[in-house]
C-alpha cells in the first residue's frame, strides 16, 4: 500500500470514529472570587530601560563622576582586594572604553571631593587594610596621582563628604566599627589633617546633616557600643558637641540624610533588616515624626535619586541575597509608592546613581563583572530591554485608549504577577501596574474593545484555572475573579457580543473526551453552557468563532493520528476528516492557527514529530500539504523543539506562520512556494532567547519585535528592517 492509499484508508477510519450527539444546554454558575493584591498606578515616566555590559571580573564597587565635564558621568570601579582601579567610559548606552590603572593600595571606599568652583578631579580613598586614607587626583588620560595621605592606629571604614564651614572646600567625615570614634579630615596646605570629634567610641555609620537648621553641617552617627543615635551640633567654628543621644532596639545597617518630603529640612533614613525607618526633620530639630516601611528584601546597598523625574526622591537598593534590584518611587509627604522589584542580577555588589543629559539613572555592578544600567527611555533606540520585569513570561499587547498606540501586558513568573506598562502619546512608557495572580499562566486573551476599560483573561493550555482582571484605568479599580474550566483547556476564544456581554468559548477535555463550552460574562453575572462532547483521544485543538463555530483537532487512534474539522451546529455537528498518518512509539504534535481578525479563512500549520521524522503540514481551504524544504539546509527536521505561531508582520495584510528555533535561537518567517509543496525559512532575527512575542510599531514609525527575553527576564525590543 502506498502513502496516498494509506492516508485515504485512515481518513475513512477517522470519519467512522467521529461521535455525533444531540445538543445539551447546561446552566452553571462557576465563578469564584480570588484574593486580590493591588499595586496602584506607579509613574515610572520612562525610567524603564535596562542595558548590560561586561568588564573584567574582580571589581566589587562602583562610583560615578563626570571626569571630563561633559554632563555625562564616567564610572570608577575598584575592590578592597585589588591594587588597581578601572575607569569606564559610557557613551550612548555603550561602553566605549575601560582604562585600568595600578594604585599603591587596596581601596575599600572612594568618594569624590566636589569642591565648589574646582576643575580638579580629587578623591578621598580609604584603605582599611592599610589603616590609611589618601587623597588622589584621577584623570582619563593619566594614572592616578597621590596628593597626600594620613595613617591611623585604628581601621577607617566609611567616609561621608560635606562642607562644615560653608566655604568652597569640602571635608570628609570618617567612621567605622573598627575606627576610634569620629574624625573629620580637612585639607591644609596640600596635606590631610585630622580633627577628632570624639574618641573611645565606635560608630558604624555617620553622616553630615543640618540637624539644627542653622545652615551648617552637623553630624548624626550610630554608636554600636550602646545602640544609640548620637547628634553632634556644629558650633559654626567647625567644632562639634554632643547634644543628645537616642537609644535604639536595633542596630543601624545604613544611615542617610536626605530631604524626602521637600520641606528643605533633611530627614534621617536608616534600616535594620528589612525595616526602613524615616525620621523626619522639623524646625525644632526633634526628629520625632517617624514612618516605618517593610521592604521586600534586606538591602545590601542603597541609593536615593529622582529617577522618574517627578521632583520626588526615590529609593533604590540591591539585595545581595536574592539579586533583586528594588525601587520605591517617592510621592507627596515623604511617602512611597508600593515597592517594585525592577530586575534581578545575581551576585550584585554595588549600586550608584549616575547622570546623563541631566537625568539621574542607576548603575549596578556584579562580582562577575556585569555592569547593568537602568536609565530613561530614548525615542531613537534600535533595541532595548524594558523593565520592571524579573522573569517575564507570556506577553500581550493591548490599546488602552484605542488610539493605535499599543501598551504591554505580561505575566512575570518570578512572583505570579500580572504586569502592565502603559505609554503616553509620545510612546514613552509612563505608568506601571502590578496585580497578584493565584498562579502563573502561559496565555493572555484581551477584551480590548472599550476605551480605558479592559479585561484580561489569563490561562494555560492543559490547565483549568482562568483568572480574569477587569480593570478600569480611569479610576484605577479592578475586579479580579477566577473561574474553572470543567476540563483541561485546549483553546480559548473571546467574542464581544455587546457592551455588556462577552462570550468565552473553550475547547477542553474531560477524561479522554473533547468538549466545547461557553461562559457568558456579563457585568454582574457569569453563566456557563456545555455542549455535547465532540470527540475522544484528542491531542491538540484550535477553535474559530465567527458566524459559525468551527474546531480543528488532532486525535489519536491506535497507531494513527487524524486531523479533523468540526462545525458546531444547532442541529447535528458537521465533521470532516482532513489528514491521517501512521505513527511510531514516540509522537509529538503541535497545531497553530491564524487569527480570524486578520485571516477570515482558517489557515493551520502543524508540526508532527514522529520518532526521528518531522513533518510540516499546512492546511487551508484548498486542503492540506505535507511541505518539503526547498533546500535541505532550510529544513526543520533537526530541530525537534521548533515552535510555530501565526503573527502579522509589517507590510503583510494577513497573519503568516512564524517559526522559532530554540536550538539556533532564531526567529524565522515561513515562506511557502506558490505550488504549496515546499517551504523555506527567512531569518527575522537571531541570537534571541524568546519566550513569547508580538510585532508592532513601538515608536509610531518603525516596527519592532517585542518579546519576553528568557535570558534577561525583561521585555526586549528589536527594530525590524523594512
DSSP string, 86-112: EEEEEETTEEEEEEEEE-SS--SEEEE
Query: Residue 58 has what pLDDT?
Result: 95
Q: How far apart are the first and last CA of the chain?
A: 49
> Phi and psi at residue 13, in whole multiples of 5°?
-65, -40
Percentage of residues in the chain having pLDDT higher than 90: 75
Its pTM stands at 0.91
Region 103-252: CATH code: 2.130.10.10
How far, CA to CA in Å, does 214 sit from each of 166, 211, 233, 234? 11, 8, 10, 9
Query: Residue 367 has what pLDDT?
Result: 93
CA distance 110 to 63: 7
Mean pLDDT, residues 187-202 taken together? 95
Whether residue 336 has pLDDT greater than 90? yes
Instruction: Classify residue 59 by burial, with Cβ atoms within 10 Å: 0-12, 13-18, 19+.
Output: buried
CATH topology of domain 584-688: Lipocalin (2.40.128)
Burial per residue of 288-298, b for 16 or more beta-carbon CB atoms within 10 angstroms, e otherwise:
eeebebebbbb
Beta carbons within 8 Å of 206's beta carbon, 6+ residues apart: 158, 160, 173, 174, 175, 182, 219, 220, 221, 222, 255
103-252 and 584-688 have identical folds = no
Mean pLDDT, residues 173-201 taken together? 96
Supply the mean pLDDT for the chain.
Answer: 90
CA distance 347 to 365: 9
Mean pLDDT, residues 474-502 taken together? 94
Cβ proximity of 484 and 466 under 8 Å: yes
Residue range 196-237, pLDDT digits in tens? 999 999 999 999 999 999 999 999 999 999 999 999 999 988
pLDDT category of residue 614 using cuts at 50, 70 and 90: confident
CA distance 531 to 310: 55
Q: HEC profile for 550-579? A: EEEEEEEECCEEEEEEEEECCCCCEEEEEE
Query: Residue 417 has what pLDDT?
Result: 96
Mean pLDDT, residues 314-339 taken together? 96
Residue range 49-101, pLDDT digits in tens? 999 999 999 999 999 999 988 888 999 999 999 999 999 998 766 677 899 99
Cβ proximity of 253 and 326 under 8 Å: no
Cβ proximity of 722 and 652 under 8 Å: no
DSSP character for 532?
A: P
Give the pairing of strands 678-686 and 690-697. unpaired
DSSP string, 177-198: TTS-SEEEEEEETTEEEEEEEE
Mean pLDDT, residues 675-697 taken together? 93
Query: Residue 120 has what pLDDT?
Result: 87
pLDDT category of residue 547 using cuts at 50, 70 and 90: confident
Cβ proximity of 399 and 425 under 8 Å: no
How far, CA to CA in Å, does 176 sit from each of 180, 204, 222, 722? 8, 5, 10, 59
Query: Residue 596 has what pLDDT?
Result: 63
Give the pairing of strands 392-398 and 383-386. unpaired
Mean pLDDT, residues 271-279 taken together? 96
Query: Residue 25 has what pLDDT?
Result: 43
CA distance 324 to 306: 20
Q: In this structure, how many other beta carbons lie within 10 angstroms of the beta carbon of residue 286?
A: 11
Mean pLDDT, residues 637-654 taken together? 83
Residue range 18-39, pLDDT digits in tens? 333 333 444 444 444 444 545 5
Residue range 646-660, pLDDT digits in tens? 998 877 788 899 999
Residue range 549-565, pLDDT digits in tens? 999 999 999 999 999 99
Query: Residue 229 has what pLDDT?
Result: 95
Min mean pLDDT across 103-117, 165-179, 314-328, 614-628 is at 614-628
Beta bridge partners, 361, equal 354
Give the pairing of strands 623-629 and 678-686. parallel
3-class DSSP state of 6: helix
How far, CA to CA in Å, does 83 sit from each of 65, 79, 190, 266, 477? 20, 8, 24, 37, 56
- Every domain of the chain and the residues it spans: 103-252, 584-688
DSSP character for 633?
A: G
Cβ proximity of 69 and 79 under 8 Å: no
Residue range 663-679, pLDDT digits in tens? 999 999 999 998 888 99
pLDDT category of residue 381 using cuts at 50, 70 and 90: low
Amino acid at each position: 500500500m502506498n502513502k496516498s492509499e494509506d492516508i485515504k484508508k485512515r481518513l475513512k477510519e477517522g470519519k467512522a470514529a467521529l461521535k455525533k450527539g444531540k445538543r445539551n444546554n447546561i446552566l452553571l454558575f462557576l465563578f469564584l472570587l480570588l484574593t486580590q493584591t493591588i499595586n496602584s498606578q506607579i509613574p515610572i515616566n520612562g525610567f524603564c530601560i535596562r542595558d548590560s555590559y561586561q568588564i573584567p571580573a574582580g571589581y566589587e564597587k562602583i562610583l560615578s563622576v563626570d571626569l571630563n565635564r561633559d554632563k555625562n558621568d564616567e564610572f570608577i570601579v575598584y575592590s578592597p582586594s585589588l591594587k588597581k582601579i578601572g575607569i569606564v567610559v559610557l557613551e550612548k548606552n555603550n561602553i566605549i572604553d575601560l582604562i585600568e590603572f595600578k594604585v599603591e593600595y587596596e581601596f575599600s571606599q572612594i568618594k569624590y571631593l566636589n569642591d565648589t568652583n574646582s576643575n580638579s578631579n580629587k578623591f578621598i580613598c580609604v584603605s582599611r587594610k592599610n589603616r590609611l586614607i589618601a587623597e588622589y587626583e584621577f584623570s582619563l588620560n593619566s594614572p592616578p596621582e597621590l596628593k597626600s595621605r594620613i595613617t591611623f592606629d585604628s581601621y577607617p571604614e566609611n567616609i561621608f563628604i560635606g562642607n562644615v564651614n560653608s566655604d568652597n572646600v569640602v571635608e570628609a567625615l570618617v567612621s567605622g566599627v573598627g575606627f576610634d570614634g569620629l574624625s573629620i579630615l580637612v585639607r591644609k596646605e596640600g596635606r590631610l589633617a585630622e580633627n577628632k570629634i570624639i574618641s573611645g567610641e565606635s560608630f558604624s555609620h555617620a553622616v553630615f546633616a543640618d540637624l539644627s537648621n542653622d545652615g551648617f553641617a552637623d553630624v548624626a552617627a550610630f554608636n554600636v557600643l550602646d545602640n544609640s543615635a548620637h547628634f553632634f551640633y556644629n558650633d559654626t567654628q567647625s567644632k562639634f558637641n554632643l547634644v543628645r543621644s537616642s537609644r535604639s532596639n536595633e542596630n543601624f545597617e545604613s544611615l542617610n540624610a536626605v530631604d524626602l518630603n521637600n520641606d528643605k529640612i533633611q530627614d534621617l533614613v536608616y534600616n535594620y533588616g528589612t525595616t526602613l525607618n524615616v525620621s523626619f526633620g522639623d524646625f525644632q530639630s526633634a526628629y520625632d515624626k517617624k514612618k516605618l516601611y517593610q521592604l521586600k528584601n534586606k538591602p545590601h546597598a542603597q541609593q536615593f535619586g529622582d529617577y522618574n523625574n517627578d521632583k520626588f526622591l526615590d529609593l533604590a537598593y540591591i539585595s545581595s541575597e536574592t539579586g533583586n534590584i528594588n525601587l520605591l518611587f517617592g510621592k507627596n509627604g515623604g511617602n512611597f509608592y508600593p515597592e517594585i522589584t525592577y530586575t534581578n542580577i545575581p551576585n550584585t555588589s554595588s549600586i550608584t546613581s549616575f547622570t546623563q543629559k541631566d537625568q539621574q539613572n542607576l548603575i549596578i555592578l556584579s562580582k562577575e563583572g556585569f555592569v547593568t544600567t537602568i536609565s530613561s527611555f530614548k525615542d531613537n533606540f534600535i533595541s532595548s530591554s524594558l523593565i520592571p520585569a524579573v522573569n517575564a513570561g507570556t506577553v500581550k499587547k493591548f490599546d488602552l485608549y484605542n488610539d493605535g498606540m499599543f501598551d504591554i501586558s505580561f505575566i512575570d513568573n518570578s512572583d505570579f504577577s500580572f504586569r502592565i506598562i502603559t505609554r503616553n502619546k509620545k510612546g514613552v512608557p509612563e505608568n506601571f501596574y502590578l496585580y497578584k495572580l493565584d498562579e502563573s499562566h502561559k496565555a493572555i486573551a484581551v477584551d480590548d474593545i472599550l476605551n480605558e476599560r479592559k479585561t484580561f483573561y489569563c490561562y494555560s493550555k492543559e490547565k483549568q484555572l482562568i483568572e480574569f482582571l477587569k480593570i478600569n484605568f480611569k479610576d484605577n479599580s479592578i475586579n479580579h475573579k477566577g473561574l474553572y474550566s470543567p476540563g483541561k483547556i485546549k483553546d480559548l476564544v473571546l467574542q464581544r457580543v455587546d457592551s455588556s456581554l462577552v462570550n468565552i468559548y473553550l475547547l477542553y477535555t474531560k477524561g479522554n473526551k473533547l468538549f466545547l463550552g461557553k461562559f457568558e460574562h456579563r457585568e454582574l453575572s457569569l453563566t456557563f453552557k456545555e455542549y455535547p462532547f465532540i470527540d475522544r483521544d484528542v491531542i491538540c485543538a484550535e477553535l474559530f468563532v465567527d458566524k459559525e463555530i468551527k474546531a480543528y483537532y488532532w486525535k489519536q487512534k491506535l497507531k494513527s493520528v487524524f486531523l479533523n474539522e468540526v462545525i458546531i451546529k444547532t442541529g447535528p455537528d458537521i465533521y470532516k476528516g482532513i489528514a491521517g498518518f501512521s505513527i511510531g512509539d514516540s509522537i509529538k504534535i503541535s497545531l497553530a492557527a491564524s487569527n480570524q481578525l486578520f485571516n477570515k479563512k482558517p489557515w493551520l500549520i502543524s508540526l508532527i514529530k514522529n520518532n526521528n521524522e518531522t513533518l510540516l503540514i499546512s492546511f487551508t481551504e484548498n486542503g492540506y500539504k505535507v511541505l518539503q524544504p526547498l533546500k535541505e539546509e532550510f529544513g526543520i527536521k533537526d530541530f525537534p523543539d521548533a515552535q510555530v505561531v501565526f503573527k502579522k508582520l509589517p507590510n503583510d495584510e494577513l497573519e503568516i506562520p512564524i517559526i522559532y528555533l530554540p536550538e539556533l535561537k532564531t526567529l524565522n518567517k515561513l515562506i511557502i512556494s506558490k505550488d504549496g509543496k515546499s517551504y523555506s525559512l527567512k531569518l527575522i532575527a537571531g541570537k534571541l532567547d524568546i519566550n513569547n512575542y508580538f510585532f508592532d510599531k513601538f515608536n509610531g514609525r518603525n516596527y519592532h519585535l517585542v518579546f519576553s527575553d528568557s535570558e534577561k527576564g525583561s521585555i526586549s525590543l528589536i527594530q525590524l528592517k523594512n
